[in-house]
Chain A
Amino acid sequence: MAITTLYVCRKDDPEARRLLNRFRKQGYSGLTDIVIERVFYLEGLDSKDEVQKLIPLFVNPVYETYSFESTLEPAEGEIIEIGYQKAIIDPETDSILEGAEALGVKSLEWVKLILRYQFNGIDREEAQKIVERELFDPIVQMIVEPDMIWDSLRPSGEPDKVRYISLKDLDDDGLEKLSKENSWYAPLPQLKAMQDYEEKRNRPFTDAEIEIFVQSWSDHCYHTTWKSLGLLKMLRSATEKINHPLVISIFADNAGGIEFFDDWVITIKGETHNFPSSISPFGGVATKHGGVIRDTMGFGKGGYPIGGSTIMGTMDPFIPESDIPTGALHPAYIVRESIRATAYYCNAMGIPMMQVAYKAHPGYPKCLALGHSIGIIPKKYALKDSPHPGDLVLLIGGRTGRDGLHGATASSAGMSGHSVKRESAAVQIGHPITERKIMEAVPVLRDRGYIRSITDLGAGGISSATGEMGEDTGVRLNLDEVKLKDNSLSAWEILLSESQERMLIALPPENIDAALSLLKDYHIETTIIGEFTGTKRFEAFWRGEKVVDIDMDFLWEACPIEPMVIEEKVRELKASSVPSLDSLQGVEEEFKRILSHYNCCDQSHSGFQFDSTVQGKTVIGPYSGVTGKMPTDIFLSAPLLGKEYGVMTTLAYNPFYGDISPEGLCRLMIIEAVSKAIAAGADPGAIALCDNFYTPKATPEVGWELTQMVKAISELSIKLGMPFISGKDSSSGTFTSKDGDVINVPYTFAVETLCRIPDVRKVVTKEFKGRGNSIIFLGRIDPERLGGSVYLDCHDERGDLLPELSEPYIEELQAIWKRLYELYNRPDNPIKAASIIGEGGTLRRIFEMCYGGQVGAKLDLTEREEAIRCGFFGSIDGLLFSEAIGSILLEIDAAADLEELFNDLPWFKLGMTVEGEDIELYKDREFVRLNMDDLIEAWESTFKKVVE
């Protein structure tokens, strides 16, 4: 088929300028210019006339020029072309085909977009180095060689035939050998269970059947590690014990839901996508968002997403190249690509950004890539129905390709066709436009009563989605109906493909015509791939063969869960050796180190790249204050336009505390996340929690720690009466470098709160609002407990004592929370601003409050009775930098009677808001003024260095 190439250049190209500046800063000082040509490869056009008709689609003559030959002069600099591999359908392809159709061009069959970079002023070697490090992702992209001969742009090939595999008579070694050869990586007890099943059925398995078992029983899908430790049950029973009146749906669905107002339900889900994001960050992070958003759309009979988050844990982005474990990507590259991916996916989805966090820990060569999604759904649709026999299985959205499959034949260089047997992509490039269309259509389908049940396709693809949905009925699939990206997929690949942007609906047959017509209106590709039966069997047909026929009961009940041996680990912790600050004069230098620490610095440079006001529901976004870039620590949305009630979310994530005590980490994260919500005005009686775990691969010691972690969160959630309603665990946080070094992730536990807010107008933001008001410290602090603090990390230490959360203190905190909520609801609420204390300590929050309000603060660190009662005495660094989680800083109206407000609670007056913007510190007769401009400079500079 004829392939036409069209070269387009922009007269003004900021992207090229940005890359030029970045690479020059990285040391390529000889680089004088970068030119980018956008090359459209067009397959199928049958006349010059057709090509000409298409020009307006590709070229706006106001700011673009085009030609049919490249205009780049090779003598001026090295030219390198980069595009997506053939197995990946370019995000632009479908839209371009639609545009061509609008222009009346019918012969265009396929399109690929290749970027052609020219690097002027440097030699070939340097240009290749830049490309390899910054522009080329070998997992998903290819470099187009100049001499490549193009046969077709589309992936092609023939599928393998169905394989029949017998486990009969194999001994343990034989089973394990077979498992390894086929990349099943199934534990021996599972292989034996399958062997028994084969014997009972008296016929060998098909490859598809074994793949279904292996996938359904994998740790990722079946949570075998957690189940063998009894952890899911433990957490679930805690939530059941709380029996919270607002809870609607816990753990059973794709997300958790609590009752909102006026017969609506709000939902939450957090999802990690760590491995793909570590090897191919752009694709990995984009699909992280895509996946968790689909969890909202797959809640009940179809939720509507109203907020999202992005949280990345990597190694220190400033680490020298030589210190990166072999086989890991540079963390700065991961961060940059992840920002690009979040902007690419979430902005196009039109879902406001709630929280943005980038943090570092040396244990993250295998990074943490966490995203949340919250949603809203009418209460009457919040619970799924079970499919009825005869209901149709509807597959909607993107096409099915060889995406995310294990052992798939990896593509070599790409498009020439000389070495490629079949194309595959371990990581995909998400297509947000496809998912956005689904987001539009699902609520309409739901409200018309067409949906019996809906779920997203993620890990395990069609197999997992239909298998789970049809557990009680049985399902029969015709795999020939599944629309494919290329025809070389065999049956097991169709079943297991993890291609993104697909959802599955159980549809009563009487609704089929109306549903198909509606989906067509929304430009959503839809196929009926089978039906639910009454047989309780999982059946699938392909090319005239029955390729799957297994009992649902066996699939879902026979997975052997072996109890896991656990063993307590004794940690060797070292007390801090950082000398205490005994004078105020040393504060400024130390504080600037904290403000410029990667985990505490200004990250708005990324946050401003994510739309936080789309949908018109945002009351408080991730940043506010006079300059608009003070981190708010909360997200507040009024999701029903015109109504004054709202939903608030807050996040707590700390990569350091787990090094000291994973269990302590868990307790602190819950208190931190909840405190953030309550400090802003949330009702302690209307908070639900979402957990995300990321822990090293299971060993007896990891098993012990995990058990302690889950026990801790279960107990604390019961104590607080705040239920966990959703969550996700990943037990794959172990990285093995190519040199054989094993690096475990830090025990990671993140909490996101979901709060129901009766009146958004009563919520208070963090920035100081006026001068002459009191600054109150509410809670307790122990300056000796600097363990896990950013302050100690600045001194390359971790310490041994985390902030304490004793039982009596938690009870005090509950009293504080109750009081705050009462004050927020007074008609004359005296609280003008509030902030929790967390990473970086008290002074960091005072800085943010001052910066946000452009108001100065005067703090008195002198030991005095009321301060001592709260533990506020001792070393200066401890007072200012210990991370007293649970404590809250308040700006209280100057006229308020402080005794009356806080009488029986632990509190003292820390200082006042004052003229100017600087922070003044007093202790006895000593005084120091911290210049705000200097502090801002320290705070702002770090992140920009990583991402610009």
Chain B
Amino acid sequence: MATSKIAVLYGPGTNCHEETKFAIEYSGGEAEIISVQALLDGERKLCDYSGMVIPGGAAWGNHIAPDRIFAIHIIAKLKEDIEFFIERGKPILGISNGNQVLMEAGILPFTKVGEGTAAIIQNKSARFESRWTRLIVGEESPFSRGLSGKILRLPIAYADGRVYSNNKPLRAAFYYVDEKGNPSEVYPHNPAASPRGIAGVINSTGRILGMMPHPERAILQSHGSTDGKVIFKNLVELCKS
């Protein structure tokens, strides 16, 4: 049954779904954690939800490549559901590993499920990186309302955060910046050494966002930054429109 809830997708090994659900609810939305298995078994239907978030965490252990197996499930079993979801203009947010899923599955950058043209690959340092980063908005989108001109502080935690594309230029949603606030490819401002400083990618409609930083970890005063809350508030608003 259709609801105004936002689906937070969960696969075996996903580990950021609880805080993502909290972030949505704290930002005024409703959220439900649903497992990929429940979608495969038909116990839940994606079209019943007003938006979708693929949270971070090593789903299926990040085995073979980050979120390859999550993406395989989407391509092989949920392609039509996702395409229908996107056609209806419902927003999708992929965070960290969720962003890798969107890329691996071709949902980003060019909204062609099963036809990936970009990927998120291993950090240049070849290490997992857990740090706080500073960011600015790249191309404006409904997700970034109220954030333009600001320097955001969000944490990152990934081993694979470098955007890789040998195709058309991507629409950068966020850039890592240096002390002066300029987009940076330099480590550790840009922990992945992602080209052009790209920390997130948005699709052409602006309704699908994939980002490597974790906005759900910057919601409360006690987190030391509440910048993530703005992104979730925008998501909640997008789900209504």
Contact = CB atoms under 8 A, between A and B. Distances in A.
Interface stretch (A409-417, A579-587, A604-612, A655-663): A604-612
A17 B126 CA distance: 8
A245 interface: no
Contacts of B223: 616, 618-619
Interface stretch (A347-355, A549-557, A869-877): A347-355
Contacts of A57: 64, 68-69, 72
A15 interface: yes
A644 B222 contact: yes
B12 interface: yes
A521 to B, nearest CB: 7
B23 interface: yes
Interface in A306-337: none
Residue with the greatest number of chain A CB neighbours at <10 A, chosen from B26, B117, B119, B122: B122
Contacts of B119: 60, 62-63
A615 B20 CA distance: 9
A14 B124 contact: yes
Nearest to B164: A63
Contacts of A104: 76
Interface in A400-437: 431-433, 436-437
Interface stretch (B81-89, B169-177, B199-207, B212-220): B212-220
Contact of A62 (B72, B76, B166): B166
Interface stretch (B1-9, B54-62, B135-143, B144-152): B54-62
B76 to A, nearest CB: 5
Nearest to A605: B127
Interface in A92-115: 92, 95-96, 98-99, 102-104
A575 interface: no
A266 interface: no
A56 interface: yes
- In this complex, the interface size class of chain A, counting residues with CB under 8 Å from chain B, is 35 or more
Given A104-B76, A761-B221, A608 B16 contact: no
Per DSSP, chain B at the interface is mixed
A608 B131 contact: yes
A614 interface: yes
A79 B126 CA distance: 22
Contacts, number: 171
B128 A611 contact: yes
A416 B23 CA distance: 53
B222 A433 contact: no
B61 A62 contact: no
A348 B224 CA distance: 24
A902 B121 CA distance: 55
B121 A12 contact: yes
B13 A433 contact: yes
Contact of B58 (A347, A353, A609): A347
B130 A348 contact: no
A343 interface: yes
Given A63-B119, A92-B63, A523-B37, A609 B69 contact: no
A641 B20 CA distance: 11
Nearest to B43: A521
Contacts of B224: 619
B172 to A, nearest CB: 18
Given A62-B165, A63-B121, A616 B64 contact: no
Given A343-B128, A521-B37, A613 B12 contact: no
A882 B104 CA distance: 56
A614 B16 CA distance: 7
Contacts of B19: 614-617, 641
A348 B214 contact: no
A619 B118 contact: no
A348 B22 CA distance: 21
A632 B119 CA distance: 36
B40 to A, nearest CB: 8
Given A99-B64, A350-B15, A613 B222 contact: no
B35 A433 contact: no
B100 to A, nearest CB: 11
Nearest to B11: A523
B130 A18 contact: no
B77 interface: yes
A617 B26 CA distance: 14
Given A102-B72, A433-B61, A521-B37, A615 B18 contact: yes
A62 B117 contact: yes
A760 interface: yes
Contact of B61 (A432, A612, A615, A644): A432
B15 A95 contact: no
Contacts of B72: 56-57, 99, 102-103
Contacts of B121: 10, 12, 63
Contacts of A189: none
A483 B77 CA distance: 30
Nearest to A619: B222
A610 B128 contact: yes
Contacts of B131: 608, 628
Contact of A616 (B35, B38, B159, B216): B216
B81 to A, nearest CB: 14
B68 A642 contact: no
Contacts of A611: 128, 130, 157
Nearest to A524: B12
Contacts of B124: 14
Contacts of B57: 350, 614
B75 A609 contact: no
A235 interface: no
A612 B26 contact: no
A644 B76 CA distance: 44
B11 to A, nearest CB: 9
A102 B64 contact: no
Interface of B: 12-13, 15-16, 18-19, 22-23, 26, 35, 37-38, 56-58, 60-65, 68-69, 72-73, 75-77, 104, 116-119, 121-132, 155, 157, 159, 164-166, 188, 214, 216-217, 219-224
20 contacts: A10-B121, A14-B123, A57-B72, A60-B65, A62-B165, A95-B64, A102-B69, A102-B72, A350-B15, A350-B58, A432-B58, A436-B12, A437-B12, A521-B35, A613-B157, A614-B56, A616-B19, A628-B131, A638-B220, A761-B221
Given A609-B130, A616-B223, 11 more contacts: A14-B123, A102-B76, A349-B15, A350-B57, A432-B58, A433-B61, A521-B37, A608-B127, A613-B217, A614-B57, A628-B131
Interface of A: 10, 12-15, 17-18, 56-58, 60, 62-64, 91-92, 95-96, 98-99, 102-104, 343, 347-350, 353, 431-433, 436-437, 521-523, 608-619, 628, 638, 641-642, 644, 646, 760-761
